[in-house]
Structure 1
Amino acid sequence: MSTATSARAEASVWQRIGWFLKRALLMELSIYASIGRFVARRPAIGPGARGFGFHRPVMTILMIFIVLSAVEIPIFDLIVHRWPAVRITLLVLGIWGLTWMFGLLCSYLMRPHTVGPDGIRVRAGLETDIALSWDDIASVARGLRVDESKSPKIVETDASRTLMLRVNNETDLEIELERPTIVRLPGHGAAGGEQAVTAVRIWVDDPVAFMDEVRKYI
């Protein structure tokens, strides 16, 4: 392998590490921002828009993880209280993990999908936040779809390229776009960065109310 090739490979490794660290930092900040919004009772909903949750399918499991995270802190503290260094380390990690799980729950509650005068805003996880204007949207329709676990995020056919923002492998609304539209997704590679899609499928806890709100604009 030539020196130039080795240098490029090393630069690529450091670039990937940099992307990973930046993404981890942004996710961490998003966690604390969501907790702040929860405390202030200020969900991320634009002026004149209405929010629609998508947390119902994962609420139970999130609550279980939060309770388990809270319970394990005093249990581990009791077990390792004779070793201060280990005790402090596990205490810090336990509190951080509990905070992270609570922040993840807050992100679901405080970052809903929205429908408003400017269009539809769809969200997923801590990072995905896609604004679709009414000029971009051709139609919105209900339709339950259940995919297998680890199905691709972008599903391609001869005539379409659909972004799947699943919750527990399910979606119940399809937003068809007027034309291939560029959306920015977290990460890099085949399913990250800027992607051109012709439709977006999402999960909404109350699709009937969502459709009622959409009909006010299209």
Structure 2
Amino acid sequence: MSADVQRAARPSVARRLGVFALRALKLELRIYASIGRLVARRPAVAPGATGFAYHAPVFTILMVFIVLSAVEIPIIDLIVHRWPVVRISFLILGIWGLTWMIGLLAAYLMRPHTVGPDGIRVREGLEIDLPLSWDDIASVALDRRTDEPKSPRVTEADGTRILSLRMQDRTVITIELERPTIVALPGTAPKGGRQAVDEVRIWVDDPSGFMAAVRRHI
């Protein structure tokens, strides 16, 4: 590889590292913000809007990981208690990991999908938060799908770009957009970053309630 090509590649690598570091920092801050919301019982729902949970398919899995992480800390501590440096390192990592899992669960609980006067806000966990105004939305329909592929999030079929936010390969609501709409996804292109989509599919624990709220506002 020539020196010129190497110099041209370096900014790309540096940019990727910078994006990764910024994303990691934002995730860390959102972990603690989500735990704070959970303690204060203040879900991220705008005035006049209604929140709709989507965590039911993953709740049990997250609880199992949290319990296992909590049990693991004293067990590891007992095993390595003779080596103070190792003991402290594992203790810090264990507490951080447990906090992270609790924060992830808190994000699912405190950052629901919302339906309100301004439109629909589509969320998923710590990172995804997509505001769709009523002017952007052509239709909202119950559309149960149980065979959604796990990845990628954005697929294309018959010229329609579809964003699928699945829960265990399932979606239950389809939001058709008036026109190709730019949404910001975690990561960088081609799988993340700013993507133009024509349709959004999501999972909601209470699809009937979600549709009733849509009918009140649309």
If the TM-score is normalised by the length of the shorter chain, which range does it land in? over 0.9
Q: Deviations over 1:131-184 (max 9, x none)?
A: 000111111111111235533211212231110011111100000111111111
**Structure 2 residue aligned with 1:89:** 89
Q: Match for 1:163: what amino acid? A: L
Q: Match for 1:112: what amino acid? A: P
TM-score scaled by length of structure 2: 0.97
**Structure 2 residue aligned with 1:169:** 169
2:88 is the counterpart of 1:77: no
Query: What do you get for the CA RMSD once the two structures are aligned?
Result: 1.1
For the residues of structure 2 that align with 1:148 and 1:107, how far apart are their CA atoms? 23
What is the CA distance between 1:125 and its match in structure 2?
Answer: 2.4
What is the CA distance between 1:15 and its match in structure 2?
Answer: 1.4
**Structure 1 residue aligned with 2:17:** 17
For the residues of structure 2 that align with 1:124 and 1:44, how far apart are their CA atoms? 12
For the residues of structure 1 that align with 2:23 and 2:34, how far apart are their CA atoms? 16
Q: Could you list the structure 1 runs, at least 4 aligned residues long, displaced by more than 6 angstroms after superposition.
A: none
**Structure 1 residue aligned with 2:188:** 188
Q: Match for 2:71: what amino acid? A: V
For the residues of structure 2 that align with 1:151 and 1:103, how far apart are their CA atoms? 24
Superposition pairs for residues 100-139 of structure 1, below 5 Å? Answer: 100-139=100-139
What is the CA distance between 1:12 and its match in structure 2?
Answer: 1.5
SS at the partner of 2:205? coil
**Structure 2 residue aligned with 1:205:** 205
**Structure 1 residue aligned with 2:214:** 214
What is the CA distance between 1:57 and its match in structure 2?
Answer: 0.2
**Structure 2 residue aligned with 1:68:** 68
**Structure 1 residue aligned with 2:30:** 30
For the residues of structure 2 that align with 1:202 and 1:37, how far apart are their CA atoms? 23
Q: Match for 2:205: what amino acid? A: D
For the residues of structure 2 that align with 1:89 and 1:152, how far apart are their CA atoms? 36
2:54 is the counterpart of 1:54: yes
TM-score scaled by length of structure 1: 0.97
Q: 1:78 to 1:149 in 2, by over 3 A?
A: farther
What is the CA distance between 1:28 and its match in structure 2?
Answer: 0.7
Q: Match for 1:94: what amino acid? A: G
Aligned residues with identical type, % of pairs: 67
For the residues of structure 2 that align with 1:131 and 1:208, how far apart are their CA atoms? 21
Q: Which has the larger displacement, 18-27 or 152-161? A: 152-161
**Structure 1 residue aligned with 2:153:** 153
Q: Deviations over 1:178-217 (max 9, x none)?
A: 1111111111011211111111000000000000100002
Q: Deviations over 1:73-131 (max 9, x none)?
A: 00111111111111000000000000000000000000000000000000012111000
Conserved? CA contact 2:144–2:170, under 8 Å: yes
